[in-house]
Copies of this chain bind each other. A is one copy, B any other.
């Protein structure tokens, strides 16, 4: 397993110099952020990004993410243009020797929380999702704490978009995902690139939007669309794991053995039965997930890809991108190191 860390590029206050000083750190997960969604990532930008990472003795191990244009998810007639561009981007990444590309298929919103600055008893700041609060929010009025999503839409636009997805329904979204994969996966295969879909977060419908990457059954349906290691998963323990019905160890062992786990996001949550969850430090003792069992399952299943500590709390007065500070994620990284070392040596 290759320990890696998400980096948001040259503007990220969590610099490569700092990431490099985390013991055992090998890889960087990043993206190109200044190419508009749907356009081709040019070769020169990819090479420059790779060189920047390698200058710090780190490896650019995966892209997170090449975003999927909304028209593809909606299945609009314009999608073929964007899919063509997506394939060109994959070819370019493959040429640059980058073997893993993450994406998600969540309509409109990326990950969603009811608060991104909840203060815990020990003074640390965390992200929380309280289902009732989210139900009461009106996304059209901009009442959401959505760190993963910039308000790109006018109210009227957003309202129309939400209506379109409601009409589409889950089966419609599945059809559009299938269309996308059948076009893109063969190119990924030829380019030596493994796609890795990120689960929906939270893994249930919000604001009437269909969400389909939510549980084991749906993940099985997804990998069966095209049976290829290039059609794989980026399993995020904190995303799927916020639903207590998802047995994370079992899911991870299953897809590791099937060689469809391409990337592992390591995060813990404290959840309840009422669709509430709180992001906590990575340790098993802090949340609802057994992080040892999850990692053991990945090892037993033969997973040998990248793993990264996902969202951390904000501690020690750090300020920055919600979930993506340096300190708590680095603590997660050495915790992973400890678990892995003991699992392999035991």
Contact = CB atoms under 8 A, between A and B. Distances in A.
Interface in A76-124: 122-124
A122 B19 CA distance: 10
A23 B341 contact: no
A337 B230 CA distance: 35
A226 B296 CA distance: 45
A328 to B, nearest CB: 8
Taking the full assembly, how many copies of this chain does it contain? Answer: 2
A336 interface: yes
Interface residues of A, number: 42
Interface in A298-346: 313, 315-316, 326-327, 330-343, 345-346
Contacts of A340: 338
A163 interface: no
A21 B284 CA distance: 15
A159 interface: no
Contacts of A334: 282-283, 331-332, 334-335, 338
A20 interface: yes
28 contacts: A17-B123, A20-B122, A21-B122, A21-B123, A21-B124, A21-B313, A21-B315, A21-B316, A22-B331, A23-B281, A23-B282, A24-B281, A282-B334, A283-B337, A283-B341, A291-B341, A296-B345, A316-B326, A330-B331, A331-B331, A335-B337, A336-B338, A337-B338, A338-B338, A339-B342, A342-B342, A342-B343, A342-B346
